Amino acid sequence: MPANTFKRAIHSGKSQLGLWCTLSNAFSTEVIAGAGYDWILLDTEHSPGDPLTVLPQLQVLAAYPAAPIVRPAANDAVLIKRFLDAGAQSLLIPYVQDATEAKAAVEATRYPPHGIRGVSALTRATRFGREKGYFDTAAQDLCVIVQIETGRALENLEAIAAVEGIDALFIGPADLAASLGFGAEQTHPDMRKIVIETLQRIQAAGKPSGLLTGDPVLQKMALAAGVSFLALGVDAGLLARSSETLLANARRLGEGA
């Protein structure tokens, strides 16, 4: 299988800029694939996506430089196995709150005796049996990212980062804001401060740090803090807001006629 360029890039010192994909189909994925982002997250936690929609998305992205990351709906070994067999090399595992859960996420990506991933020689990941050394070398090019999105996860951050096989930690600011009592106020100054402090803690623990935010202020702060990979928005949000703006602008033109 190809080398995991994303796994290498997040250690490069240059922030990798990405986009969230929730529209869950190959056509819309191809639209954004050529936009120039370093990486694209295929989300199945907050979207209708599943392994059968992710498969054609991965096939489309294979023709573009943007690196695919897949977010399973949960830290679930069966879901993780299916996405790996479909050819995903980078996974963002949601709602990891302690070292035990982080270890479970890693074990779901490793074959025995180092984990519990089920073995099949006829998967897209093995090029349907043509990659003869896949069983022994697959872990080298898998990237396991865990999501920090609760107060409990913040308390356990360093222990999570220390788990062998965890490649990066990612901040989910919406759930983290809710968990810490900020509700939907992700742009509250105190919340922004917590996010930046958390990025710095991840980096101090020796791991690449990630973040999704559409807040330009927090984006600038995160880039200044050296965030390793930053998602700038969500495809569904871009479509929703730009379609609203287009209509609002036309109505204003009509009112001024």
Alpha-carbon span 7 to 90, nearest angstrom: 8
CB 208 within 8 A of CB 6: no
The question of whether 11 is a catalytic residue gets the answer no
- Whether the upstream peptide bond of residue 189 has omega within 30° of 0, thus cis, is no
- Residue 134, classified by CB atoms within 10 Å of its CB into exposed (0-12), middle (13-18) or buried (19+), is middle
Q: What is the phi/psi pair of residue 68, to 5°?
A: -85, 140
**Residue among 11, 46, 114, 188 flagged as catalytic:** 46
Output the six-digit token pair for 58.
């991965």
Report the DSSP pairing between strands 39-43 and 143-148. unpaired
Which amino acid makes up residue 138?
A
Task: Give Cβ neighbours of residue 59 (< 8 Å, ≥ 6 apart).
Answer: 26
Output the six-digit token pair for 240.
């929703």
DSSP result, 106-175: HHHHS-TTS--PPP-SSSTTTTTTT-TTHHHHGGGG-EEEEEE-SHHHHHTHHHHHTSTT--EEEE-HHH
Task: Give Cβ neighbours of residue 48 (< 8 Å, ≥ 6 apart).
Answer: 24
Catalytic residues: 46
